Amino acid sequence: MTTPGFAVVPVSGMPMVEPGDDLCAQILDALQRNELNLVNGDVICIAQKVVSKAEGQLIDLNDVTPSQRAIALGEETEKDPRLVELILQESTDILRQRIGVLIVRHKLGMVGAHAGIDQSNVDHEGGEKALLLPKDPDASARNLASAISERLGVSVGIIITDSHNRPWRMGTIGAAIGCAGITVLDDHRGGEDVYGRELKVTLINRADALAAAATLVMGETTEKIPLALIRGLPSENSEQAAADINRPLEEDLFR
């Protein structure tokens, strides 16, 4: 598909989210305060931090007992062994380790620093809490889309965004870690270019591109504006999930 033009709108007014909050109601309230009435095809982008907090993924580091392995790895990387313990629990493989850094494969499949665990903006007491990713962000996105469909009768897309670092390129960029109702990977393989030649390798990651755009308007201190609306896209009702983005290990040309 060729995507028509679209607008990316920051949505202010989300409250500080607490465990157990009705995130759907909070999102709809914020949209309403911004006089944004949802229509079919709208894509709601929400920062991972907010979803994780609502789902109770904020861990008190004082409740974490590091294993021997976490203590050793904490010494090697000069990181808090309790944080290392959480990273190990959240991941399946350690890909790289350096002083201050652990690059791991999260058990959800994505690769990145520290299993997506965040220590900024999570607590006003400073540093004794850590926020894990949502347990199943695709399910979280699907649940939000369903709840909105039930309450308002509109078919919207949901993207749960996170900020990722990348190999070779400086600077973080927003990425999609949970999706519902959008075409995540748009498959042009087997199509033809404008000269009629077969397009061989053309799978477009639409979800990450939309997440990158949305993350820009959220600003970095995403708890201030953890919500953005993308408007102008056609309604897609895709069954694809952000988990589809994870490149199968055997196909990873960069390993």
Q: Which is nearer to its own copies, 25 or 199 (CB)?
A: 199
Q: Which is nearer to its own copies, 63 or 195 (CB)?
A: 195
Residue 19: name the closest of 47, 46, 59 by CA.
Answer: 59
Q: Which is nearer to its own copies, 180 or 212 (CB)?
A: 212
* Shortest CB 217 distance to its own copies, Å: 5
Q: DSSP readout, 99-130?
A: TTEEEEEETTS-EEEGGG-B-SSS-TT-SSEE
Residue 67: name the closest of 86, 53, 54 by CA.
Answer: 86
* Shortest CB 146 distance to its own copies, Å: 25
Q: Which is nearer to its own copies, 33 or 96 (CB)?
A: 96
Q: Is 228 exposed, middle or buried (0-12, 13-18, 19+ CB in 10 A)?
A: buried
* Shortest CB 96 distance to its own copies, Å: 6
* Shortest CB 102 distance to its own copies, Å: 10
Residue 95: name the closest of 27, 167, 22 by CA.
Answer: 167
